[in-house]
Amino acid sequence: MRAPIIAGNWKMFKTVSEAKAFIEEIKGKVEIEGVECVICAPFTHLHALVDAVQGTRIKIGAQNMHCEDCGAYTGEISGVMLKDIGIDYVIVGHSERRAYFAESDDIVNKKVHAAFRNQLIPIVCVGEKLGEREAGDTKKVIKVQIEAAFQGISAEQAEQVVVAYEPIWAIGTGKASTPQDANEVIAYIRDLLKGLYGDHVAGAVRIQYGGSVKPENVAEYMRQSDIDGALVGAASLHPASYIQLVEGAK
């Protein structure tokens, strides 16, 4: 059985003190058997959050990383640095990184390799724009992104990857893909992985849905056959809401 994973992506929100207060609020309330909880916070918060979750099963993730381990890359953070402070997960290829910071499929692939090089689990984001969806190109876009992201990744590594299907038109817009539509695309992603690695790996990879997920609809997504959790933005910023998301995943 694939353990559901609820990952909060805080984006550029919260101060360090607010982040620590959030963890205190959710401690003991989200550690539900069989559900994995991850908080992906800004870089400035990570060290404090790793300390704050000691003794719990809550995991801390980064929202990005550079594909090199060190070098003259002003303002960047490497996988070596993240692993050194106890980070477990890293988001790779989020649509906002692709759109605002010109991250290509090739860069995403390099970051996936860098994550594994540093014993981090990548949450690999894929998804189509509204125009691509309306043109009937969703699967074509997803195929290119998945095949590029997994280029050169071994079967053993692929099993550990978390894929997040986030239709770009549904991120932060209040619009959400229906559970059935999301499940159809996620099942297609699993078929792509089956073609790349076989049944065992495809059956092991956890695939999340992201895009205006909230406490009111998370259970509907989790009832679908191939959806293994959610990558959540705004609804993960409030302790009560995040707790409800985890309970919905149960």
Query: Which one of 45, 66, 94, 128 is the catalytic residue?
Result: 94
Query: Which one of 96, 128, 132, 166 is the catalytic residue?
Result: 166
Q: Give the pLDDT score at 18.
A: 98
pLDDT tens for the chain, 250 residues: list them.
799 999 999 999 999 999 999 999 999 999 888 999 999 999 999 999 999 999 999 999 999 999 999 999 999 999 999 999 999 999 999 999 999 999 999 999 999 999 999 999 999 999 999 889 889 999 999 999 999 999 999 999 999 999 999 998 877 677 768 999 999 999 999 999 999 999 999 999 999 999 889 999 999 999 999 999 999 999 999 999 999 999 998 8
The answer to whether 94 is a known catalytic residue is yes
The binding site consists of: 9-11, 172, 212
The binding site for substrate consists of: 9-11, 172, 212
Q: Give the pLDDT score at 170.
A: 77
Q: Give the pLDDT score at 123.
A: 98
Please state the CATH superfamily assignment of the domain spanning residues 5-249 in this structure.
Aldolase class I (3.20.20.70)
Q: Give the pLDDT score at 175.
A: 72
Neighbours of 69 (CB within 10 A): 14
Q: How far apart are CA 202 and CA 183, in angstroms?
A: 15
**Any idea where the domains of the chain sit in the sequence?**
5-249
Angstrom CA distances, 2 to 73, 169, 204, 242, stand at 37, 27, 6, 21
The answer to whether 113 is a known catalytic residue is no
Q: How far apart are CA 165 and CA 146, in angstroms?
A: 10
- Rounded to two decimals, the pTM is 0.95
